């Protein structure tokens, strides 16, 4: 990103933390400290890094997003992320929720786009190069966010243009597949949404497959290709992440969070929690402030 963009964002957002803007779908995240590898749930978003670097891990897959590469998450995914930042060079990023309806309209209009096979892989997340068009839009977006009036009047059109730019990016094949209803990728995306919203229930994998007119074996294969997890592994990570939210944000006791997320045993919940996050659920509350600052990044 160019110096004009950094000057603009530092003028408007001076302190560390998650900053709301005049547009509900855009937040600015700024931190001046390095954050070690930590798990988070990302939900259908675009992340534009203005300064610094993040490294996202999905099982054995690694994606770097920085000022030269943006990250697109077209479906709900649990990622483990590491943030590189310092006082001299804070990490600064725009977290933009992708409007599914707008993205569908854009992709539906791109009839010439080849969506047959991705050149790389079928992961449910990808990075792409920041070009001049993206930089220009980022600067316009930041200037617009200074004004409530401009944000209200111009926000929708600028975001639509930005979504178009990522839809025609070099690595956007998977994004297109996710928005074509009959594709296996779109079917798995719908199943992921059900898991995300109903993870505390006793989800039946064969039933999820039947709902999308898929065999159980095909469902498992495509699910793992996209998420790098089996369905059961994925469900466990979503449950643990939501349990952490209950404890940190809503002050749940450990046993209550375990029960809410469908665990029969609080001790088993605690073991799974520590294996995933690296610390016990009882240690969540002291890190409440940090948790709130990072949970949407």
Q: How far apart are CA 42 and CA 61, in angstroms?
A: 16
Contact 1, 50 (CB under 8 A): yes
- Host H or E run for residue 254: helix 254-260
Both 170 and 281 in one domain: the answer is no
Report the pLDDT value the prediction gives residue 118, as an integer from 0 to 100. 45
Low-confidence residues of the chain: pLDDT under 70: 111-121, 181-182, 285-297
234: tokens are 């994925």
- Cα separation, 237 vs 244, in Å, equals 11
Token pair listed for 35: 């954050």
CATH of the domain at 26: 2.60.120.280
- Same domain assignment for residues 124 and 188: no
**Residue pLDDT, tens place only, 31-74:** 999 999 888 888 899 999 999 999 998 888 899 999 999 999 98
- Global pTM reads 0.80
Same-domain check for residues 32 and 110: yes
Q: Long-range contacts made by residues 108-117, C-beta under 8 angstroms, separation at least 24?
A: 108/179, 110/167, 110/168, 110/176, 113/167, 113/168, 113/172, 113/176, 114/173, 115/173, 115/176, 115/177, 115/180, 117/173
Q: What is the CATH number of the domain that holds 241?
A: 1.10.10.60
Range of the domain at 244: 233-294
From 229, 249, 265, the end of a domain falls on: 229
Query: Do both 158 and 23 map to the same domain?
Result: yes
Cross-strand partners of 197: none
Give the count of domains, the chain. 3
The per-residue pLDDT for 111 is: 57
Residues 201 and 258 in one domain: no
Query: What's the pLDDT at 116?
Result: 44
d(CA 253, CA 48): 36
pLDDT digit string, tens, across residues 133-143: 999 999 999 99
Q: Are residues 217 and 277 in the same domain?
A: no
């Amino acid at each position: 990103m160019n110096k004009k963009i950094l000057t603009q964002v530092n003028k408007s957002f001076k302190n560390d933390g998650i900053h709301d803007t005049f547009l509900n779908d855009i937040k600015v995240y700024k931190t001046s400290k390095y954050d070690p590898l930590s798990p988070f749930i990302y939900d259908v978003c675009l992340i534009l890094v203005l300064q610094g670097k993040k490294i996202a891990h999905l099982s054995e897959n690694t994606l770097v997003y920085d000022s030269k590469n943006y990250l697109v998450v077209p479906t709900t995914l649990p990622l483990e992320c590491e943030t590189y930042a310092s006082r001299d060079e804070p990490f600064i990023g725009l977290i933009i929720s992708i409007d599914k309806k707008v993205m569908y309209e854009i992709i539906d209009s791109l009839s010439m786009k080849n969506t047959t096979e991705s050149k790389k892989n079928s992961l449910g997340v990808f990075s792409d190069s920041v070009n001049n068009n993206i930089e220009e839009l980022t600067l316009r977006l930041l200037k617009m966010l200074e004004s409530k009036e401009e944000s209200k009047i111009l926000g929708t059109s600028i975001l639509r243009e930005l979504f178009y730019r990522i839809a025609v990016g070099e690595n956007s094949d998977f994004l297109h597949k996710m928005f074509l209803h009959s594709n296996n990728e779109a079917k798995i995306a719908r199943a992921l949404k059900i898991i995300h919203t109903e993870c505390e229930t006793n989800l039946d994998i064969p039933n999820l497959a039947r709902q999308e007119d898929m065999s159980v074996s095909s469902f498992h294969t495509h699910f793992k290709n996209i998420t790098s997890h089996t369905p059961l592994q994925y469900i466990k990570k979503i449950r643990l992440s939501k349990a952490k939210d209950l404890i940190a944000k809503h002050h749940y006791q450990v046993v209550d969070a375990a029960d809410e997320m469908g665990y029969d045993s609080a001790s088993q919940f605690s073991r799974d929690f520590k294996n995933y996050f690296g610390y016990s659920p009882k240690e969540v509350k002291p890190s409440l402030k940090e948790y709130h600052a990072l949970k949407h990044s």
